[in-house]
Amino acid sequence: MNGRPRKKPRSPKPSRARKRTSQGRKSSRKGRTSRAGAPAYARLASIDGRHPLARTAPSAVVPYPARRQRDSDVVYFNFALAREIGLLPPGHADRLTAPLRDALLDTFSLQIVNEWDEAHGRFAKAGDRLPHTYMATRYLQLQHPDKRGQNSGDGRSIWNGLLRSRRGSFDVSSCGTGVTRLCPATSELGEFFQTGNVITDYGCGTAHVEEGLGAALMSEAFHRNGVRTERVLAVLVLPSGYAINVRVAPNLLRPSHFFGLLRRGEHEDLRHLVDYYTEREIRDGRWPKLRSAPARFRHLADRVATDFARAVATFESEYIFCWLDWDGDNVLTDGSILDYGSVRQFGLYHHSYRFKDTDRYSTSIPEQRRKARQIVQRFVQIREFLLTGDVPSLADVKDDPVLERFDREFEAERRRLFLRQVGLSARDARALERARPEALERLLVLHHRLERRRSSRGEHAVPDGLSWNAIYCMRDVLRELPTRLLERDAETDPRLSPEAFYDLALSDYASRADRRTTNYRRRVARAYQRAYLDLVDTLAARRRRSRRATLAHLAPTAQARNPYARMTGDGLTHATRRLSAHRRRLRAEESHRLIQAFADSQQRDDPPDPDLSAERPLVRRILRDLLSITRDFRESL
């Protein structure tokens, strides 16, 4: 299972694949015939299980033979992503033609032959046996008994292979292709399991359509707003009603891949893995061209510090919960999000929320900074080992300059993101930070104080853990304040009354006690507006404009960057159920356009108006439902 295990959903009811699909595949896949090698889809045929990581660090890989699965169907295909990574030609239409459908099914409709299958003599028939093995990868996971990453990692996923194109190289993986020896159940119980079993939650080896569609909705919305993330390429439904969810990332290595090798003392493979990772990052243009090995080792630690500082600053700014711990198994090495089973985006800063696993509660959003810093600290250990041959203790590297870099980058990114939410351009934000850092700090302190205020009702249980609800929606304040100040006399005393200010800020989670305007709350409301106007006046002086003109300039940008309706975890759950309920009536192209339109509605900078006017009434109605759900759950977990 990728990342933190999640509770297994109720098994789906078996469903037949679409008649046109089974007929289409029968005509094109008689015997061993396949269209995957057709010129337009030759790149799909190259994703056949082979991956250089299997040769680079063999101790980090468990190879599995695989069999082809018949009569599956494509319910979602991300045409935009496929063109973006060079999997499809640039001019390919959003149309799932019969050759493309067959190519996708030939490439991704598979199941591994695992240890249980071999023990019971269930091998693939000659006509269904795929020519190459597929790998599950070992990585460290704290919840596993051995604490070394020997028996943990990809429990229900495999790596399909490496896509090489003019756009760079991309790793492709699939979830729901069978249970591996790295699943939590095998580690805990010491036995192998049949794929699809109902004996154990964390050893089923299966995935569901809702998982794939939900991850597609969230990852596409995150991608629109510059949040680094793995993305869903395709969702295939099987005759059993289960699914195979296909995902893509520029580099699928996690920090936990490195940490597992470090803890097991497999130093030769660790060195090879670092060489492979750094070479690939340089070749694909994400790193500068560093020639010497020591320079690459130093840059690895520096880059991880920068990437993770920016990632956790983004998580705090966007109210994103991503169960981050020092083992680094739930994120990629560049800080990208993956495994959407334990990822949430909140409407308010519900910073006390904790996800409940079988044996522990997760970290909270503000704790993610400390955990990210610990990840960086372990990469400093790896750097020192590669440079000197010795692994220093964590205490020996606790004051390393790379950790200071992490702290600086976090604070800088947090301020940059906040000023962006206020509505400033990047140039104005940099100028304001240089000219009035103390004014920015005053507003930032007050802003964080208000967004962290929790309900007097206290901590309570939620379906997947514990929470203590926030009461102020500070995004509403940033969105509405410029306009409200303009409506008053902006050149004398434009400030709202404390009561009017809190009318903007208070959420539905506020109790009667939370709504009472005390003397302290009046002082905070006045101080916040005073600090806000101080920044506005600084910006007005720089632009040689009046305060009123500056507020008028900020207002539309602040509205766009702090939308009234934004995707939340609860909203996503309901939206995914709504989309999944109609999947049998939707073509794969229609599912793609619905998800793209939903992601467009979440875009903060110049969001396009979702236009499905040419679609069937059913498709337009589903999009209206998704947008309505987003509004209804805008403040929730």
pLDDT tens readout for residues 85-119: 999 998 899 999 999 999 999 999 999 999 999 99
Asked if residue 331 lies in contact with residue 552, where contact means CB atoms within 8 angstroms, the answer is no
Structure tokens at 301: 């630690």
Write out the two tokens for 137.
């990868």
Q: What is the pLDDT of residues 489-529, one digit of tens each?
A: 655 678 899 999 999 999 999 999 999 999 999 999 999 99
CA dist., res. 320 & res. 313, Å (int): 10
- Identify which of 410, 414, 411 has the alpha carbon closest to the alpha carbon of residue 308: 410
For residues 239 and 13, what is the distance between their CA atoms, to the nearest angstrom? 10
Residue 21 in this model has a pLDDT that exceeds 50: no
Q: Tokens 């009536």 appear where?
A: 585
Strands 168-175 and 134-137: unpaired
Number of other CB atoms surrounding residue 265 within 10 Å: 10
DSSP label at 58? G
Instruction: Give the residue, 609 or 12, on which the prediction is more confident.
Output: 609
Torsion angle (degrees, nearest 10) of CA 515, 521, 525, 530: 180
φ, ψ at 409 (rounded to 5°): -65, -40
pLDDT at 361: 85
Chain mean pLDDT for the chain: 89
- The rounded distance, in Å, linking the Cα atoms of 200 and 213 is 24
- Contact predicate 63/135, CB 8 Å: yes
Nearest to 419 by CA among 446, 444, 442, 438: 444
CA 360 from chain center: how many Å? 22
**Over pLDDT 70: what percentage of the chain?**
93
Are the C-beta atoms of residues 562 and 420 closer than 8 Å to each other?
no
Mean pLDDT of the 300-320 span: 96
Q: Give tens-digit pLDDT for 179-217.
A: 999 998 898 888 999 998 888 777 898 999 999 999 999
Most distant CA atoms of the chain, gap in Å: 84
Asked whether residue 19 carries a pLDDT value surpassing 50, the answer given is: no
Residue 203, sorted as left (phi over 0), alpha (psi -120 to 50) or beta, turns out to be alpha
Can you name the residues that pair with 175 across neighbouring β-strands? 157, 245
Q: Which of 311, 422, 421 has its CA nearest to residue 365?
A: 311
Most confident of 25-39, 80-94, 479-493: 80-94
**Strand ranges inside 204-330, DSSP E:** 231-237, 243-249, 320-322
6 pLDDT above the threshold of 80: no
Torsion-angle region of 24 (φ positive above 0: left; ψ -120 to 50: alpha; else: beta): alpha
- pLDDT reported for residue 31: 36
Ranking 35-44, 459-468, 499-508, 588-597 by mean pLDDT, the lowest is 35-44
Helix (H, G, I), strand (E, B) or coil at 47: coil
The pLDDT assigned to 526 comes to 95
Nearest-CA neighbor of 574 among 598, 544, 604? 598
Beta bridge partners of 322: 343
- 54-82 confidence digits (pLDDT tens): 999 999 999 999 999 988 999 999 999 99
Which residue from 108, 44, 31, 36 is spatially nearest to 75, judged by alpha carbons? 108
* pLDDT > 80? residue 17: no
Distance CA 487, CA 520 (A): 26
CB 331 within 8 A of CB 222: no
Distance CA 528, CA 484 (A): 14
> Is the distance from CB of 312 to CB of 368 less than 8 angstroms?
yes
The predicted structure's pLDDT at residue 144:
80
Contact predicate 109/244, CB 8 Å: yes
Q: Distance between CA 168 and CA 175 in Å, rounded?
A: 23
**Who contacts 209 (Cβ-Cβ below 8 Å, separation ≥6)?**
12, 75, 235, 237, 241, 243, 580, 583
User: pLDDT higher for 554 or 3?
Assistant: 554
Q: What is the spatial order of strands in the sheet that 61-64 belongs to?
A: 61-64, 134-137, 157-165, 168-175, 243-249, 231-237, 73-77
Cβ atoms of 175 and 3 closer than 8 Å = no
Please state, in angstroms and rounded to a whole number, the distance separating the CA atoms of residues 157 and 252. Answer: 12
Pairing state of beta strands 231-237 and 73-77?
A: antiparallel
d(CA 486, CA 504): 15
The alpha carbons of the chain give a radius of gyration, in whole angstroms, of 26
Q: Report percent pLDDT > 90 for the chain.
A: 74
Angle subtended by helix axes 401-422 and 474-486, to nearest 10: 40
Neighbours of 557 (CB within 10 A): 18
Query: Which 8-state DSSP code applies to residue 153?
Result: B
Question: Residues 6 or more apart from 126 whose CB is under 8 A from it?
Answer: none
- What is the pLDDT averaged over residues 2-21? 43
Nearest to 186 by CA among 201, 196, 175: 201
